[in-house]
Amino acid sequence: MMDTQDPVLSHTLCLVFAVSIGSGYHWVKVFLLHSANLLRSSEAHDLPSLSNSTCSVTSMAIPHHSQETSYLLPPNPEDWEKQGIPDFVYGQKDLFVSKKIQWPRNSPSAADTLPLSRFDSALCSAWRQRAELGLFRYRLEDLQTRILPGSVGFVAQLNIERGIQRRRPQNIRSVRQEFDPEQFNFNKIRPGEVLFRMQREPNGPAAPKQEDEVLVVINVSPLERGHVLLVPAPAHGLPQRLLPGVLRVGLEAVLLSGQPGFRVGFNSLGGLASVNHLHLHGYYLAHPLPVEGAPSTPLDPKGCVHLLQGLPAPGFLFYTSGPGPDLEALISRVCRATDYLSDCEIAHNLFVTRGAPPGQASSTSDLSGIRVILWARKSSFGIKESGAFNVALCELAGHLPVKTSQDFSSLTEAAAVALIQDCLLPQTQADEVQAALVALMAQEEL
């Protein structure tokens, strides 16, 4: 092991070695970037910023704190499994509830220049190294991006490789389908695909009990930079049905990030989840999305749940200003809602983002809390190749990964709205679901 305390060696180290990929050996250039090991500050102005793309595959040196855990793989692939899974240990002080987390005023797409938190740096340095090692199904280059003209503000991106290279979805027949160990699951991934384990500080103030370990794993068919999966207790073989523990970690991951564009989401079975093994998605997108400030109206007297309006897909909005009792109450409400939908065989998608409090429409500069949006939708089983994009968590939120160049150049807001609305429940059924969820929230008062 090299002594990285030397100021020269504390920058990017480059090693070239042979690594087995598939059936042969390829020479790869591995940029051993020290994980962003930063002081645990709760103020954004105390954090270093990077002018490069946050999780780009480009070589980049990140400040190193000598006592931090390294989330990088050792040079020899044979040592990857022996190394074990490092813990990303965090506490209340690492959760960013400051209003300083917001999009740059003049150019929201300049979010890559924003400061990185300790979580961002750990995730991005490890993710970037795995990309250099060739552990993804394709090399994710900078994606062509366009904001579709119109009132919604759809963010369309051309991602041809994902449409071609991603793993075929499993044969799903029910929202409540049981886990099948014979199918692909996250116990079968390569050791190098695991970045770290999320670990709350033990006995910390107001630290909720984290029942099971949650692994942060690369999505080998990434939508965008830093695309990871949050996988709770893989060995337990949990089916794709939302549970409070993993939702809590997903919410905390958004609060751990200093980037307004780090979002987390969940697809149910029938809601385009392609693997029936419990997981959430997390990824960076350097653009505001319409769900961050869209208006809403309360559905119950205490405002536990709102109806998100002004968008092609109305959704149920849950909101919290940060960690603590309100966050725990939100987790309980959301999971009761998703349990109801699963029990009724209703597919659903969920999206977590920084955003404005419920009420009137707000600008993208107001990211003072966490918005959780839940959509009930038509079930969709099997492979769906028609249309410019498939409708799941990110599409409902306004991020449209498009599969072909022709569709990318010709896609209009009207066409996007039509594709999304075709996946929504009929109005009669949507009204029944809304009434049932409002009744569930009312039971909380009893």
pLDDT digits (tens, 9 = 90+) for 288-310: 999 999 999 999 999 999 999 99
Q: In whole angstroms, give the CA distance from residue 152 to residue 251.
A: 25
Tokens standing for residue 2:
């090299």
Phi, psi of 109 (to 5 degrees): -70, -5
Phi, psi of 372 (to 5 degrees): -115, 120
Name the catalytic one among 279, 287, 306, 348: 279
Residues of the chain with pLDDT under 70: 1-54, 56-68, 99, 107-112, 203-212, 364-365, 383-386, 445-446
Answer yes or no: 279 catalytic: yes
In what side-by-side order are the strands of the sheet with 155-158?
Answer: 145-147, 155-158, 399-402
* pLDDT of amino acid 210: 54
Q: In whole angstroms, give the CA distance from residue 253 to residue 250.
A: 5
- pLDDT tens digits, one per residue of 42-53: 333 344 444 345
For residue 148, the Cα-to-chain-centroid distance in whole angstroms is: 23
Q: In whole angstroms, give the CA distance from residue 345 to residue 343.
A: 6
Q: In whole angstroms, give the CA distance from residue 251 to residue 90.
A: 13
How much is the pTM? Answer: 0.85
* pLDDT of amino acid 284: 97
Tokens standing for residue 20:
């087995």
* pLDDT of amino acid 364: 66
* pLDDT of amino acid 164: 85
